Structure 1
Amino acid sequence: MSVSKLAVRVVIGGLFFGHGMQKLTGWFGGGGLEGTDAMMEATDMRPARRNSIAAGVTEAASGTLLAAGLATPVAAAGLIGVMTTAIRKVHGKNGPWNSDRGWEYNAVLIATLTALAANGPGRLSLDAALHRVRSGPQWGFFALAAGVVSSAVLIELGRRGARATDAGATNAGTQPPEPPEAEQEEAEDNA
């Protein structure tokens, strides 16, 4: 069982690390901060740069922690937060199926991360080596609740930032720009 938990952690954590680095640096074919900023603007997550950095750092750092099996419930909570935000801001309106850019993949990751937090990272982890394994249903609940709450807070902060930006544009006698359809499609691809 420890080897299977290690495999799940390394695959999911490694992919999240890569996804975060796509957002931050453009590695692995990503858009870097400029591309991520466009996605954040298209989804009303403003200020875009702050949210771009927050999303990229959360994915890269939490992915690294998860792969190492270190602070596993906290790592899971960070990634659950990112996936919950992706569902709420990008994929939710498309229905469940991934073939329609829906939320099924995000939901599978959330369920897997919740299960890892509840069942622990396994013997082959830094948590185990440091005798700091936190597991049990309460840790699964913690990871899920913390992820969902952090997503709600960040979305509300983004909404307030968008309103402030739109109000500033209106007060200056201009209308806030409408994101082009291509930016919305890019946002869906980057989420």
Structure 2
Amino acid sequence: MLVKDQIGSYFYYPTTSTHRAAGGFGGLRVNSRLLIPVPYADPEDDYTVLIGDWYAKSHTQLKSFLDSGRSLARPDGVLINGKSGKGKGKNEPLFTMKPGKTYKYRICNVGITNSLNFRIQGHPMKLVEMEGSHAVQNNYDSLDVHVGQCYSVLVTADQEPKDYYVVASTRFAKQVLTATGVIRYTNGKGPASPELPPAPEG
């Protein structure tokens, strides 16, 4: 199979040692050729969202744990495009949307061990692609994204013009770790609600 046949969202990373834990990764997009129809209208813009667990220990320390037969234990946090949503700059937008327009978000779990739940405050997500194939288009309030998986969703800016949170949180773990980012409407008139949308239970 050729790359041109594997449309969709992917990410690259080093496969040696534990360099991925040091941030050695990035998004990849494989677009359809112009002659091949896509089962949805062209979005206003196309955003890559890299979510993952984060360890304060260096990648060499993590490698030594694994080499000695120890587990990596619990991560120290979760990141969305390299940010946790805490501290300086937490209210700066990661993405912007024009009212009434539809956007494509390519969501990839670039972490090491943890499945993550991804959701956008007040906005359903229409799943349109997964693992390099177009999907049956259903709407979801949240998506569980396992390590190494990528999904593409369409999101329409049809809510009150203000800020909204994107949220990624650990799944199937005793202690839930959460990261947030901000989506800003270009004509926005207010901060995001502090009440984060919940992840599914169980």
Under a length normalisation based on structure 2, what TM-score does the superposition of the two structures give? 0.26
Q: Which has the higher strand share?
A: 2
Under a length normalisation based on structure 1, what TM-score does the superposition of the two structures give? 0.27
